[in-house]
Each structure stands twice: as structure tokens, then as C-alpha cells.
Amino acid sequence: AGKIMRTLSNIVRLPVCRGNSCRLLIDAANAFPRIYDAIKNAEHYILIEFFIIKNDSVGQNLKDLLIERARAGIRIYMLYDEIGSHKLPPGYISALRKAGANIEPFNGKRHFLSNILRLNFRNHRKLVVVDGSTAFIGGMNIGREYLGKGALGYWRDTFVQLEGPSVQQTQISFLEDWNWAMLKCGPSSLPRLRWEITPQPEDETLLILPSGPADVIPAWKTALIALANSATRRLWIATPYFVPDEGVMAALQAAALRNVDVRILRPERADHILVKLSSFTFLRDLDTYGIQLWAYQKGFLHQKVVLMDDDIATVGTANLDNRSLALNFEITAVIHSPSACAEVKAMLERDFSSSKRESLADYNNKSLGFKMLCNLARLTAPVQ
């Protein structure tokens, strides 16, 4: 496990750091109140970055809270992806700016042609940092459906709350994105942040893993392959979108051949039909090697979590598809902690108890037309 952490540290050029505490926040009902409390208690500044911000009751609540905080003198820096948040009305943004908040689209300073060329390069990160002392990273965006109030019903997702030096690493990721969004404004646009480190008594070892299309070495893909290659007992992966590339698939297959308990947990319900259809075509590649595919039954599973043995767990924004492997800007907390891994293991065991194991027979029993649709969908996997 130590070798994996050092390898990933070398790739992202951030140190593996001790002195952290991490708390699992299961579902929005637990995550949103913790985030709101941290925002309410901010004394200096708030950093916020989401792929999707909706102008619904959840989005309005966040906006009202941020406006109140901005008027109280708290510095607010907010980034959103203009593709993911394309329905966000100008009035939402202008109300925040009028109150004194700094809010920018990730690619908003680019000219038209550049935006067209970068449509596939989306900022998929979801993070909140308050005063450089606490950070939140996970799968949920800002909207009612993440509370289970959308068409997909109950929404299963996971965030992690961090304290300790991993918070400063999260700030570095945000600062790089802010610098990109404000490129034409020069260095003076960079916010003044707190960089003092406060070690936590839990002393958990952590590395923040930003990843994206600008990587010289693909950080998230390398992490998945390294975890698969190092696993000796289990490799459990929860992802809403399972469309791996050949390198990741080969690493999963090799792990299974070593008798590692390799499981993929995905949702039974789909919010992206092409991804759902494509994932069926991987059943043969999984079943032949003894890799288990599980379908979550209780609602829509959207969490992005990996557990390797009892040694390393990851919680973040990256899926197991080509977008997260090569196109999206993502962020993941890589946690090397027996206690955190035990929590993640218990959480995933509860998820598996609400899931049904799928087999190759499930696919073989489908109609010829359905199989043709699945194979056609597979052709679009690079841009799903």
C-alpha cells in the first residue's frame, strides 16, 4: 500500500500526508447538513466547486446561504462547469456577485472556438473548502435529485469530510482551477488562502489525487491499475458508469485470476442509457475471469468508491468510464487507513446486501435486438 501511495504522489506531485481525519458522509441527507454547517461557521473564506448547480430548492438554499455569508464579510470563491450547469440562469449568478461573491464558469474566459473544442473536457469536481481547515469531496452535485427527490428516486451517494493537511492539498486543486478560469486576469486574481496545517489526532494517511486531461501520466487510470495489481484479497469498486478501457479491464482480470475478490457495483437504474447498454457488453469479459458484477436495487447508485484489501480506500468524483479516465477533471481522496477502510467495507457490504448479482446468462437471455443496441452503444464508449 505504501508503494501505491508513493507512486501516486510522484504522479500528482503532492506528498502523502499523515495527521488527517476523514469522515464518511453517506448520502446527501448526511453530507449536505455537514457542508452547510461548515459554511455557516466560516470565519474567513469558502471555496466551492461543482459540476452541476441547479436552480431548484437545493440550489436556492445554497445561494441564500452564500449571500448571507458574503454580506457578513466572508470571501467566497465559486466555480461551476458551464456544460454541466448550462441551465443555471444568469440571475442566480448575478445575485451572488451583487452580494460580493466571486463566481466564475470553469472555461468562461475562453473564446468561442476554444469552448467548442473543449466541450468534452468537463470539470467534474465537487468540493467545498472552509477556512483551510475542513474540506468535502464526493459524488453529489447541487440539486434536489441528490436528496432522492428526482425521477430516479432514492439516490445513493458518498462524500468524505477531511481535516488536516489533505485540506491544503484540496485547496491546491481548487487554486489551479481558479487560476485557469481567471487566466486573463493575472496572478492578482488568486485568492489569499490559509496554508497553516493543523494535524489531527486520528493521524490518518491521505493523498488528494486531482486528475484530468492535462495529466502527463493519467492519474486516475494509473491509480485503478495500481490498486488492481496490488490487491491480494479484495478489490471492490462502486461506480454509476462502468465502461473501462482495455488497460483497466486487463488489470481487473489479472487480479481476479490471482483469486482476488473483484466486484463491480453499479446501479440497476440508469440515468445515461448509452452507458447502461455499453456496460452489458462487458459481462463476458467479467464473467469469464470470475469478476462479479452487482446491480444496486434500492435506488440510483452514484457513489465513486474503491476498496483495496483492508489498506486503501478512495472516495471522490471519478467514475470508471472514459470520461473520468481521460476527459474530465476529477478529484479523489486516496485514504491509507485501517479504520477508514473498515468503515468503507461496512458501507459497501450494506450496499451489496441491497444489490443483485448479474451473470452472463442475464445478457445471453436478452433479445437479439437488445444485444445489437448494446454493441452499437459500445462503439460510442470513448465519449460516453
What is the set of active-site residues? 124, 126, 131, 302, 304, 309
Which residues touch 250 (CB under 8 Å, ≥6 apart)?
A: none
Q: Which residues of 179-190 are buried (b: 16+ CB within 10 A; e: fewer)?
A: ebbbeeeeeeee
SS3 state of residue 336: strand
Cell of 207: 493523498
CA distances from 71 to 46, 77, 101, 315 (A): 13, 14, 9, 33
**Is the separation of the CB atoms in 311 and 326 below 8 Å?**
no
Among residues 237, 199, 234, 223, the alpha carbon closest in space to that of 310 is found at: 234
Q: Which residues of 70-104 are buried (b: 16+ CB within 10 A; e: fewer)?
A: beeebbbbbbbbebbbeebeeebbebbeebbbbbb
How many Cα atoms are found within 13 Å in the side-chain-facing hemisphere of 329?
24
Among residues 298, 237, 305, 235, the alpha carbon closest in space to that of 268 is found at: 298
SS3 state of residue 68: helix
CA distances from 10 to 128, 210, 222, 373 (A): 25, 12, 11, 42
DSSP 275-329: HHHHHHTTHHHHHTTT-EEEEE-SSEE---EEEETTTEEEEES--BSHIIIIISB
Among residues 235, 224, 321, 238, the alpha carbon closest in space to that of 276 is found at: 321
Bridge partners of residue 238, in order along the sequence = 265, 305
Distance, first Cα to last Cα, the chain: 31
